C-alpha cells in the first residue's frame, strides 16, 4: 500500500516508515496537519496513518479538512491516549480504526490491511442496494429516499449496505463488528451504537427511519418502512 503518515515526531515517523517499508509498503511523511493536507491534495494514497495530536491542529481537524477536499481513504489514528473514552472519541470523529502508542508494528500492519479491505470493496455500477424507495449509492456516498438524498461517510455507507443486504433479519452487534468493521473480537467501545445512531439521524433527515433497535439483541432494517 502507498501510505500517508501524518506524524510530528520525526523519530516515530522515521521508524514507522522504515518498518512499514520492510513489510512492503511505500509511504510519504508529513510533520504537521497542514503538510498532511497538502500532501493529500497532491498524491494518491491507499490509507492514512494519522497522529491524534499535531502541532498545528488535532487529528480530527485534519480529517475535517481532508473531507472538504474529496473522498478520504481509510484512516488509522495513532495516539498516546489509549483509554476507552479516547478510542471512542477517535472512532466517533471518523477514523476507521484507532491504535494506542506504543504499538506492535505487525498489529498496525494487520489493522491497515483490514481497513483497506473495508474501504476498497467493489460495488457494481456504484449501486449497493435498493429497497422500496430507499436507494444507496456507494460510489457517490449518498442515500436517497424517494426524491430526497443525504451524504454519508464511508462507515455509514458500509453499515447501511450491510443492513440493507440483510433486511428484515435480526443483526447482532458481533455480526456488525465482523461484517462492517472486520473485527473478530468485541472492542470495549460503543462504535456500533454510535454509528447506528448517526446513521439513523442521517436517514431521518430524508424522511426515512427503517432501523429498529432491540435492546440486548441487535438491530433490524425493516423493508416495509422503506416503501
Q: What are phi and psi of 198, to 5 degrees?
A: -65, -40
> Count of residues for the chain?
227
pLDDT digits (tens, 9 = 90+) for 189-221: 688 898 999 999 999 999 999 999 999 899 999
The pLDDT, as a whole number, for residue 73 is 80
* Average of per-residue pLDDT across 93-117: 84
Strand, coil or helix: 176: helix
Is the distance from CB of 172 to CB of 215 less than 8 angstroms?
no
CA neighbor of 6 nearest in space, from 44, 82, 70, 63:
63
C-alpha 112: how far from chain center: 12
Q: How far apart are CA 114 and CA 97, in angstroms?
A: 9
The pLDDT, as a whole number, for residue 124 is 41
* Average of per-residue pLDDT across 85-97: 76
Using the predicted structure, report yes or no on whether residue 41 has a pLDDT greater than 80.
yes
Q: How far apart are CA 192 and CA 186, in angstroms?
A: 10
Domains of the chain: 2-119 (3.40.50.2300), 124-226 (1.10.10.10)
Q: How far apart are CA 149 and CA 206, in angstroms?
A: 6
C-alpha cell at 2: 502507498
Q: How many CB atoms lie within 10 A of CB 223?
A: 14
Beta-carbon-side half-sphere exposure of residue 106 (alpha carbons within 13 Å): 0
Strand, coil or helix: 215: coil
pLDDT digits (tens, 9 = 90+) for 109-144: 988 888 877 654 444 444 467 888 898 888 778 899
Tell me the pTM: 0.56
- Average pLDDT of the chain, as a whole number: 84
Amino acid at each position: 500500500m502507498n501510505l500517508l503518515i501524518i506524524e510530528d515526531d520525526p523519530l516515530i515517523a522515521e521508524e514507522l516508515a522504515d518498518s512499514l517499508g520492510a513489510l512492503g509498503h511505500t509511504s510519504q511523511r508529513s510533520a504537521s496537519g497542514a503538510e498532511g493536507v497538502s500532501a493529500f491534495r497532491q498524491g494518491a494514497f491507499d490509507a492514512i496513518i494519522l497522529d491524534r495530536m499535531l502541532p498545528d491542529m488535532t487529528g480530527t481537524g485534519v480529517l475535517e479538512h481532508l473531507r472538504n477536499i474529496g473522498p478520504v481513504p481509510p484512516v488509522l489514528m495513532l495516539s498516546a491516549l489509549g483509554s476507552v473514552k479516547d478510542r471512542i472519541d477517535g472512532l466517533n470523529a471518523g477514523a476507521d480504526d484507532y491504535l494506542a502508542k506504543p504499538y506492535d508494528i505487525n498489529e498496525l500492519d494487520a489493522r491497515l490491511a483490514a481497513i483497506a479491505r473495508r474501504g476498497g470493496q467493489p460495488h457494481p455500477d456504484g449501486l449497493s442496494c435498493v429497497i422500496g424507495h430507499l436507494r444507496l449509492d456507494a460510489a457517490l456516498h449518498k442515500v436517497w429516499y424517494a426524491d430526497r438524498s443525504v451524504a454519508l461517510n464511508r462507515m455509514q455507507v458500509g453499515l447501511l449496505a450491510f443492513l440493507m443486504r440483510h433486511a428484515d433479519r435480526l443483526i447482532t452487534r458481533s455480526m456488525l463488528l465482523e461484517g462492517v468493521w472486520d473485527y473478530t473480537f468485541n472492542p470495549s467501545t460503543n462504535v456500533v451504537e454510535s454509528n447506528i445512531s448517526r446513521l439513523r439521524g442521517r436517514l431521518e433527515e430524508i424522511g426515512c427511519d427503517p432501523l429498529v433497535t432491540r435492546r440486548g439483541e441487535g438491530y433490524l432494517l425493516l423493508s416495509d418502512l422503506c416503501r
